[in-house]
Structure 1
């Protein structure tokens, strides 16, 4: 297939998907019959209307997707975020060609590999090796290409001698690993991933993530669904937020993740009654209430500090609290450039009698590897460590950069005290 580099890899134009749900199995027969009788009874309007009402009571419609549109350039990575039932998987299935849209169109420019329901296309009576040949051929590989890549696929799946056993003898994890191995060795132009990186054990997940990164470096376009914000940040530069079948936001992964998190907490706080005095708001660096949040934060007196290894870091924070918070708590976390939490501290705050500001100071040393680090601050109502309600979440500033390369001192991001003895 000849690929035009100037044409977008994927164009989704006004996609909608409506499902017809029948009240009973017999409704599939009754509804068409009642509609037909309604047409024949036009001379008696009251009878025709009665027949139509009875037909409508026997069928319901579910709008899974509603006018979703976006374009994805060659080599771009787009993350799709949303709660369960928001339409993410339906959208991917339509893009992959598994489902037909009710309205709208999808234009795909290149070979697609879809990691949706891994292993669903395997024949249980065939061996793993035979299923690899069949699936690779379906995905567009020639017999010569299959022979050339068979060794790499078998090695990547790492299921040992089971490769020549019938798939019906496999565990679910083994079948998923083999299916994943086939898909990522087809040189796709567009890779569609729906929570497929959760396959296998921790070691295989790490290998799967490394393989996805390797594929992206070759210029493959990625459409990625995951409930793990860290994975969306790691792989994607754009993201969209789905809610009840609609695309409600498009932007950077960080902005979309913050809005997704805010919506989750907003619904929870409404249910618990925390929004009676004021409403949860979207802030520049997260979300919070006017009277419950961090109102000011700095490190060494500035928003972004530059320090050397081991130099002091002095964080100063101003928090605003209100009296209905029974057990106020601040969680102060240190994050790296990939938003991975490195360490943190639970800090108990005093209960207030009225809305007021509280000053807080945190001091530490920059005993960290070279890089950029930032702070995440969460204000909670927390009676104990296993029971809490998030009232505000802000991250990004303050931040700091450690300039010194400390690889001779330690490996990793920060040192851990160790007693090392080398026998002579």
Structure 2
């Protein structure tokens, strides 16, 4: 459905508005006669900025690709080119079928038109006939949930109302390709949950998804492949967990450098680690690195921490992760002052639903919650498989502490 070949995008940053008008005219007139002069003139008054450099990838029908990267890495530029709202400098992006692009929600609305009029206008732009829009109109209005404001000018809407209506239009056009760029980070919690559920419903129908966002949990949940952009280039592509691990390594390496901790971070197959503050070994007592358990079993986890450098307020963070990469809970454990290797024993009471769970280990410097800097991370050292089906005992993945009793009234 999407095929991107040798795609590059260069923005030209002109020194002044006059040079932006004058220099291209001179180059057009004299460029063929004096090519060296034209090139020198452009270099003097214009600074090229490479946003994308030789991008190549394909997305098959019904596939879902997550694109992640730091701010300024070229993610939004790439999506705009694929959506057709921006022209590439070099290469091409071919897209088949009807495209719904959740880029800047509400940007195509006319503020003087009512919500109803904008629904018909935007849906027409997206390729629906008047009959098709009429058939979907009630569902769009119900999903947007803006009440009587649907018949008022859009200029009277709050930003949240604008987002809800724009999103409702896009997801009800039955797209072949759905492009999402940070659109789910806006709106209140209720809207975000509703939007995520709607996207999941669309994907089940076989729609192809291109998803960009900093919500790594959403990338894991919706995407079966991922791509990491850094400074306009593809750094890594593959399974979401592998690509996310590389992204986190880049982010934390920058944070460690900015914090001036004076340590080197090294990438390994399970995550990354700081030289002199890492995990020497981790295993379950008498079980190795994978444990198969029944509901309610107790489990002893042994972690050998190596610390040969000074770390301000060191902590070990232990997280339980489900099969979709969602964090169920965790614990921050203070690390005492020592030099060398010391063993930590953690006793777990395993009361989870049937399934496979992973244990994530992080070593951090944490003078405060806000100033926490991750120095080592291990994603898949240990795993737990629960074999009992205990849906009759509680809902969800683990029980919540609560007391319940009946009283006569």
TM-score range, shorter chain: over 0.9
Q: Counterpart of 1:330?
A: 316
The Cα shift of 1:52 comes to: 6.1
Q: Counterpart of 1:240?
A: 227
Alignment counterpart, residue 134 of structure 1, candidates 114, 117, 121: 121
2:13 aligned with 1:10: no
SS of 2:367's equivalent in the other structure is strand
SS of 1:384's equivalent in the other structure is coil
Q: Matches of residues 145-294 of structure 1 in structure 2 within 5 Å?
A: 145-275=132-262, 279-294=264-279
The Cα shift of 1:282 comes to: 1.1
2: CA distance, partners of 1:317 / 1:86: 37
Q: Counterpart of 1:6?
A: none
1: CA distance, partners of 2:370 / 2:81: 40
Q: Counterpart of 1:103?
A: 90
CA contact (8 A) 1:80 1:223 kept: yes
Alignment counterpart, residue 71 of structure 2, candidates 84, 89, 96: 84
Deviations 1:190-239 (A, max 9, x none): 11000111232211111111110111011100000010100000000100
Q: Counterpart of 2:385?
A: 401
2:124 aligned with 1:124: no
Gaps of 5+ in 2: none
The Cα shift of 1:92 comes to: 0.3
For residues 275 and 125 of structure 1, do their structure 2 counterparts lie closer, same or farther at Cα, with a shift above 3 Å needed? same
Worse overlay, 320-329 or 310-319: 320-329
SS of 1:125's equivalent in the other structure is coil
Q: Counterpart of 2:331?
A: 345
1: CA distance, partners of 2:89 / 2:270: 39
For residues 231 and 39 of structure 1, do their structure 2 counterparts lie closer, same or farther at Cα, with a shift above 3 Å needed? closer
Deviations 1:352-406 (A, max 9, x none): 34xx222111002112222221111111122334432211011122110112222
2: CA distance, partners of 1:388 / 1:118: 34
Q: Counterpart of 1:19?
A: 11
CA contact (8 A) 1:191 1:221 kept: yes
Worse overlay, 264-273 or 248-257: 264-273
CA contact (8 A) 1:190 1:222 kept: yes
The Cα shift of 1:275 comes to: 4.3
Number of corresponding residues: 407
What TM-score do you get using the length of structure 1 for normalisation? 0.91
Deviations 1:145-181 (A, max 9, x none): 1111111100000101111111111111111111100
Q: Counterpart of 1:380?
A: 364
For residues 131 and 218 of structure 1, do their structure 2 counterparts lie closer, same or farther at Cα, with a shift above 3 Å needed? same
The Cα shift of 1:24 comes to: 0.9
2: CA distance, partners of 1:38 / 1:125: 46
Q: Counterpart of 1:391?
A: 375
1: CA distance, partners of 2:348 / 2:134: 57
The Cα shift of 1:143 comes to: 1.3
The Cα shift of 1:327 comes to: 2.5
Q: Counterpart of 2:55?
A: 68
Deviations 1:112-148 (A, max 9, x none): 1101011111111111111111111111111111111
Q: Counterpart of 2:349?
A: 365
CA contact (8 A) 1:299 1:399 kept: no
2:401 aligned with 1:414: no
The Cα shift of 1:37 comes to: 9.2
1: CA distance, partners of 2:331 / 2:324: 20
CA contact (8 A) 1:323 1:351 kept: no
For residues 33 and 157 of structure 1, do their structure 2 counterparts lie closer, same or farther at Cα, with a shift above 3 Å needed? closer
